[in-house]
Chain A
Amino acid sequence: MTILTPIIAAHQITRRFGNGALETTVLKGINVEVAAGEFLAIMGKSGAGKSTLMYQLSVLDTPSDGSLTIAGVDVQQLDETEKTAFRLNTLGYIFQNYALVPDLSARENCMLPLLMRGLSHQEASDTAATALTSVGLGHRIDSLPALLSGGEQQRVSIARAVALEPKILFADEPTANLDSVSGQAVIELLTTLHKNGQTIVMVTHEREYALGCDRILHMEDGQITRTEQLTK
């Protein structure tokens, strides 16, 4: 599938680990394009390379070969500091293990990247409160992560990501540590965000959660074996 104005354009992405005889190629010349506003799921068995692909697309890792353009920027030209700034200003992340700072309240966790972007303390606090309210945690904004359930923590993680209004939201198995009810709630949140125009790339191994996406990339042995276009 060719997209006229892809927000992500990855060509011949290869990722190798190790050297010499121990070298392993985890991604083998992947070509992916993601349209603005698309909800893309990446699925595959364990070891298929789906998470590794997401790390390349989300600028958390650097491909061994290939080219990657995100929102018009050739990200391989950026140094580490620039990549950090690029992630802050362009991308949002939801991690499998929620990835919240345990010493900070839900509000402060959401405030961190906002403060880093230059918002005043009050602006960041208000924006964080709004984001938390939008994920149904308006009553827990000053709670520490340890006092929240897994589902609530993941919703804080989503609030932190969406508070930044990122161009692309990456979710790495966001339901993996959740029970089915909480998992479904997280997926519903992501679906709502997508309906509001948010571009989302999600890695999951649960097909039922991927069914709400626009497209599913099926991976096996470091290659995309099948693209499944979902009709709604």
Chain B
Amino acid sequence: MVLSPWRESTRAKHYNCKNNMRSFRVGLLLGWRQLQRASLWTTGLIVFVMMITFLNLVAVSGILVGLIVGSERAFEQQSIGSVTITPLDTEDYIQNSDVIANILQQTPGVVDFSVRYTSAGSITADYRSRQSPNDEPDQISARLTGIDPTREDAVTRLSESVVEGDYFLPDDTNALLIGILNLERYSENFPDFTNSLTAAFPGDTVLLTIGSVSQEFVVRGIVDSKVGDVSSAIFIPERELRRLIGRASDQADRIAVRLDQAVPPERVQSQLDQAGLADSAKIRTFDEALPKFLIDIKNTFNVLGTFIGSIGIIVASITIFIIIFINALSRRQQIGILKGIGIDRRAIEIAYVFQAAVYALAGSLLGVLIIYGFLIGYFERKPIDFPFSDGILVAEPLTTLTRFCVLFVITLIAGFIPAWMIAKQNTLNAILGRN
């Protein structure tokens, strides 16, 4: 009896790479033909489920993150700019802001910049009509922001945020713009704002008071923005503000810099640092200046989106498991016969894993086409209208690739387990349909 040499040679053969390749070839042939002969409706439905799962995985977290990214984008474009310059921690103002402004004008990549001055003050709307000094005045405390109207509009497009009245005229002096958060008629959206003006409309005259100095201003317009800093501010021409508070032009509070879109903020930051401005002011890119709570919310939304997407993955994996299980179970006898005629179990498992892989690939590919070919553009054109931001869909390619890989691997596992369960059954029992 020649057992040992045969066994050894078979074992060696079986476990070598060639045999794996044979199983792979046979598995692919079986799997591909099963896909080809399958009902189009069934295949379409499975691919649709995979596509929905992929969209759920990528788009849900993408929209959640997009709410914050939309908010960040608005904050960058309408408030602090791509590069923002603020006073050093040890100083009250930016030192030599005129010099900085001159350097900015010559810095490549800088489209424009807005030098701002701020001060606390109050606005009284009914100071002319109030009957008795004992009546409660229609008055608010407010943050006053002095701007160069032309440059500010070039940087933040503030004029586009005017919802009542007009933007500043070129030669405006005693005029101001009021953010909607200071007005009672807009406060229904913001019920916590109790300190608001009742009667302040474009064309009205209000009294602006800073310390002991008061001056009449005409309300030129009302500003509405999803950036809180803008909607809560009172804008007045910077020369008027500086005159009222006695501030020199080279003592600015912030310089917001708008860059060419192709220019990385880090490069401009580096150029300004090299010009020696770091000794006079804090120069930060938008990302560096971003409030930490926004970053925290973004991370939280990302986790939340992943969690919601994970539920989708579980549903998809169960779907694939059931589909492959039913498919393999209904072919149990055929699988037994294949094993009977010498087809390796792995070839049968590969056939089903291959089918699962095709489903996952086709569904994900459709999902990618929908996300990158339609949804991202759609949400850019029609952002989701949230009170604090215009929500967009954020789907960074690397994140999408990672989520696809997760979905793909889980689908393969969901396809393998039922195939393995059926293929490992006793060959003869499978052939005869016995349990």
A60 touches B18 (CB 8 A): no
Interface hits, A50-66 → B, CB 8 Å: 55, 60-61
Nearest chain A CB to B1's CB is how many angstroms away?
A: 6
> Which residues from B are CB-within-8-Å of A3?
none
Contacts of B334 in A (CB 8 A): 99, 101-102
A50 to chain B, nearest CB (A): 14
**B25 partner, pick from A72, A74, A104, A115, beta carbons under 8 A:** A115
* With A85-B10, A93-B341, A103-B34: A115-B3 Cβ-Cβ less than 8 Å: no
Is A112 within 8 A of B340, CB to CB?
no
CA distance A91 to B339 in the complex (A): 12
Query: Considering residues A80, A81, A102, A164, which has the most beta carbons from chain B within 10 angstroms of its beta carbon?
Result: A81
Q: Give every chain B residue within 8 A of A121 (Cβ-Cβ).
A: 25
Q: Which of B10, B37, B340, B431 contacts A82 (CB 8 A)?
A: B10
A85-B14, A85-B342, A118-B22 given as contacts; is B30 within 8 A of A103 (CB)?
A: yes
* A85 near B13: Cβ-Cβ < 8 Å: yes
A73 in the interface (beta carbon within 8 A)? yes
Contact A84 B345 (CB under 8 A): yes
Q: B340 to chain A: closest CB distance in Å? A: 6
Complex: chain B residue closest to A111, CB-CB: B29
Residue of B nearest to A67 (CB): B1
CB distance from A172 to the nearest CB of B (A): 9
A104 touches B1 (CB 8 A): no
The docked-state distance in angstroms from the alpha carbon of A203 to that of B431 is: 16
Interface members, chain B 1-56 (any A CB < 8 Å): 1-3, 6-7, 10-11, 13-14, 18, 22-23, 25-26, 29-30, 33-34, 36-37
CA–CA, A186 to B124, complex, Å? 108
Instruction: Report how many residues on chain A are interfacial, defined by Cβ distance under 8 Å.
Output: 39
B3 touches A77 (CB 8 A): yes
Residue total for B at the interface (Cβ-Cβ under 8 A): 34
Say whether B329 faces chain A, with CB atoms less than 8 Å apart.
Answer: no
B347 interface hit (Cβ, 8 Å):
yes
A209: interface (CB < 8 Å): no
Q: Are A88 and B342 in contact (CB under 8 A)?
A: yes
Question: In the complex the two chains form, is B2's CB within 8 Å of A116's CB?
Answer: no
Judge if B349 is at the interface, Cβ distance under 8 Å: no
| CB closest residue in chain B, given A88 | B342
Set of chain B residues within 8 Å of A86, measured between Cβ atoms: 10
B428 within 8 A of A: yes
| B337 on the A face (CB < 8 A) | yes
Could you say which residues of chain A place their CB within 8 Å of the CB of B36?
A: 103
Residues of A within 8 A of B34 (CB): 103
B417 at the A/B interface (Cβ < 8 Å)?
no
Q: Does B343 contact A (CB under 8 A)?
A: yes
Q: Is there an interface contact between B347 and A55, defined as CB atoms closer than 8 Å?
A: no
Q: B13–A101 contact, CB under 8 A?
A: no
- Are A72 and B1 also in contact (CB < 8 A) when A103-B33, A103-B34, A116-B26 are? yes
Give 20 new A-B contacts, CB below 8 A, not counting A81-B14, A82-B14: A73-B1, A74-B1, A82-B7, A84-B339, A84-B342, A87-B340, A93-B341, A95-B431, A99-B431, A101-B334, A101-B338, A102-B334, A103-B30, A103-B33, A104-B30, A108-B33, A113-B342, A116-B23, A160-B341, A164-B342
| 6 tightest A-B CB contacts, nearest first | A88-B342, A99-B337, A103-B33, A103-B37, A87-B342, A61-B428
A-B contact pairs, 10 of them (CB 8 A): A73-B1, A74-B1, A82-B10, A84-B339, A91-B342, A95-B340, A95-B431, A104-B33, A112-B26, A115-B26
